[in-house]
Amino acid sequence: MRKNIVAGNWKMNTTLQEGVALAKEINEALKGVETKCDVVLATPFIHLVSVVEAVDAARIGVGDENCADKVEGAYTGEVSAAMVASTGAKYVILGHSERRAYYHETAEILKDKVVLALANGLTPIFCVGEVLEEREAEKHFDVVAAQIKESLFDLTAEDFAKIVIAYEPVWAIGTGKTATADQAQEIHAFIRQTIAEKYGNEIAENTSILYGGSCKPSNAGEIFAKPDVDGGLIGGAALKADSFMGIITAFE
Ligand code: 13P
C-alpha cells in the first residue's frame, strides 16, 4: 500500500539556527503523537547535517529542495546528489515550479537530476503543476502528463516505483488560493491513471501523490480525505511547528 506523506518545503527561509530550532520543535511535538503519515522536512542544503542530527530518524525524514544535474566536478556553487545523501538526507524535491520558472530547469535537466538522486539512494519528490493560464485554458491535464512523461517515463518500473509525485498548481502556491478537494482529486486520479498506462496498476496504486499549494490545517483534512490524495507538500504552513503539526494530524 502507498504511504501518506506530509513534507515541509522550507524554500529559502530560516537561518541555520532558526531551522534547527524549528526542526527540534517539530520533533518534540511529534513525541507521543500517533501519525497516519510519514513526515519529511525539506530544508536548505546548509541545514541538512544539523537537521538530520536534531531529529529522530524514526519519525522524520530529512530532504533537500534540489540537487545538481551533474555527478561532480567544476560546477561552482552546485550541490550533488551524492553530497546530499552523505548528510543523511533521504529525500530530494525535484522540479519545483519555482526551480522551473526562476532557474530554467527543463524536463531534460530534471530527468538527469532524477537519475542521479535515485543512483544515490534519495527518494525524489517530483513536482508537477500548471500555471493559471493553462488551467483556464483547460490544458492542465496535458501539461501535467507531459511533465511526468518527459522527465520520468524513461525510468525502469523498479526505479519509477521509488518516486513520490507532488501535484502543485502554480496558481495555488503561496497565494492563499487552494485547489478545491474535488479539483485535487480529479487531477490526482488522472496522474495515477497516466502512471498506470505506462507502468501498470500495481505501481500506480503504490505511488504516493501529494498535493501542494496553500495547504493549511483548515483545509488539509478535506483534501487528504480524497482517495487519490496521499498527503501534502507544504510551504508557508511548514514554517511554524503548530500549523505543520495541524496538517500532519489532519488525516481522518
Ligand atoms: P505554499 O504552501 O506556501 O503555498 O507552498 C506550496 C509549495 O510550493 C510547496 O512546495
Tell me the pLDDT band of 96, cut-offs 50, 70 and 90: very high
State pLDDT tens for residues 144-155.
999 999 999 999
State pLDDT tens for residues 173-209.
988 888 999 999 999 999 999 999 999 999 999 999 9
* Active site annotation includes 168: yes
Q: Which of 109, 127, 207 is CA-nearest to residue 172?
A: 127
Place of cell 505511488: 207
Ligand 1 pocket test, pick from 214, 223, 244, 248 with the greatest ligand atom count within 8 Å of Cβ, gives: 214
In this predicted structure, the answer to whether residue 157 has a pLDDT above a threshold of 90 is yes
Q: What are 10's strand-pairing partners?
A: none
Give the mean model confidence (pLDDT) for residues 129-154.
Answer: 97
| Ligand 1 proximity of 19 Cβ (cutoff 6 Å) | no
Ligand 1 pocket test, pick from 5, 9, 66, 177 with the greatest ligand atom count within 8 Å of Cβ, gives: 9
Grid cell in block for residue 32: 507521543
Are 80 and 119 in contact, with CB atoms under 8 Å apart?
no
In this predicted structure, the answer to whether residue 244 has a pLDDT above a threshold of 90 is yes
| Ligand 1 proximity of 174 Cβ (cutoff 6 Å) | yes
Give the mean model confidence (pLDDT) for residues 17-42.
Answer: 97
Neighbouring residues of 92: CB distance < 8 A, sequence distance ≥ 6: 42, 63, 64, 65, 66, 67, 81, 84, 113, 117, 122, 123, 124, 125
* Active site annotation includes 96: yes
Residue nearest to atom 5 of ligand 1 (CA): 235
User: Which string of DSSP letters, residue by residue, matches 60-117?
Assistant: EEEEES---SSSSSS-TT---HHHHHHTT--EEEES-HHHHHHS---HHHHHHHHHHH
Cα separation values, 161 from 123, 155, 197, 200, Å: 10, 9, 14, 11
In this predicted structure, the answer to whether residue 2 has a pLDDT above a threshold of 90 is yes
Three-class SS of 201-223: HHHHHHCCEEEECCCCHHHHHHH
| Ligand 1 proximity of 220 Cβ (cutoff 6 Å) | no
Q: State in Å: Cα 165 to ligand 1 middle.
A: 14
State pLDDT tens for residues 43-67.
999 999 999 999 999 999 999 999 9
Active-site residue, from 105, 130, 134, 168: 168
Coil, strand or helix: which one is 243? helix
State pLDDT tens for residues 201-241.
999 999 999 999 999 999 999 999 999 999 999 999 999 99
Residue nearest to atom 7 of ligand 1 (CA): 235
In this predicted structure, the answer to whether residue 159 has a pLDDT above a threshold of 90 is yes
In this predicted structure, the answer to whether residue 171 has a pLDDT above a threshold of 90 is yes
Neighbouring residues of 121: CB distance < 8 A, sequence distance ≥ 6: 85, 90
Ligand 1 pocket test, pick from 93, 168, 171 with the greatest ligand atom count within 8 Å of Cβ, gives: 168
Grid cell in block for residue 70: 551533474
Q: What whole-number distance in Å separates Cα of residue 227 and Cα of residue 237? A: 23
**The predicted structure's pLDDT at residue 176:** 84
Active-site residue, from 47, 96, 140, 188: 96
In this predicted structure, the answer to whether residue 252 has a pLDDT above a threshold of 90 is no
Are 125 and 92 in contact, with CB atoms under 8 Å apart?
yes
Tell me the pLDDT band of 1, cut-offs 50, 70 and 90: confident
**The predicted structure's pLDDT at residue 73:** 98
Q: What are 234's strand-pairing partners?
A: 8
Tell me the pLDDT band of 133, cut-offs 50, 70 and 90: very high
Give the mean model confidence (pLDDT) for residues 134-142.
Answer: 96
| Ligand 1 proximity of 95 Cβ (cutoff 6 Å) | no
- Which atom of ligand 1 is least distant from the CA of 11? 10
